[in-house]
Amino acid sequence: MRTLEISEDKLADLNQLGGRILIDELNYEYRVDYESKTSNKITWRCLVVGCPPRCCINGYVNKPIKFKNSNHSHPADVNTIKKSLIVNDLKKEAQLYEDKPTRKIITEKQLNVSIETAISLPSYDALRQTVLNYQMSSK
Ligand SMILES: [Zn+2]
């Protein structure tokens, strides 16, 4: 068992997955597995199906995390995480500002990330299609 401190900015809100995602210091992603009705305790489980690690945290706040099993069956991929955060951001913005030019939404995102992350992002055309789909769906 190991205990990690998690920083607030790593608690990301990913609507596409129906809830919050927690990212630990080794860049593994977790979803909410169980939320206690009687206490603040929330159990998180690794996003990868069949991967055993779970952890408990007190509420959605910056508290130490206790892992029940820290042996993931797969490597963590920091660029995948950053990518999913950015694409999710893009979708939210597309829904929020359906009349904002697609190019503007995308270039704003591309300019705000490191070169390493920018390289791992989907192509401009793919991002454009994502924005358009979400702008359509919010109409
Ligand atoms: Zn895992």
Rounded Cα gap, residues 11 and 36, in angstroms: 19
CA of 116 to the centre of ligand 1 (A): 23
Q: In the structure encoding, which two tokens stand for residue 97, read together?
A: 């500002």
- Together in a domain, 95 and 120: yes
- Together in a domain, 54 and 86: no
- Together in a domain, 59 and 82: no
Range of the domain at 10: 3-67
More confident position, 16 or 127: 127
- Together in a domain, 49 and 84: no
CA of 73 to the centre of ligand 1 (A): 6
More confident position, 37 or 15: 37
pLDDT in tens, 84-111: 778 878 888 888 888 889 999 999 888 8
Find the range with the poorest average confidence among 26-30, 50-54, 62-66, 115-119: 62-66
Sign of the alpha-carbon dihedral angle for 138, 30, 85, 120: negative
The residue among 43, 67, 91 that closes a domain is: 67
What residue ranges in 7-130 does DSSP mark as E strands?
11-14, 19-23, 29-35, 41-46, 54-58, 65-67
Does residue 58 contact residue 41 with C-beta atoms inside 8 Å? yes
Across the chain, mean pLDDT equals: 76
CA of 47 to the centre of ligand 1 (A): 6
The residue among 39, 67, 95 that closes a domain is: 67
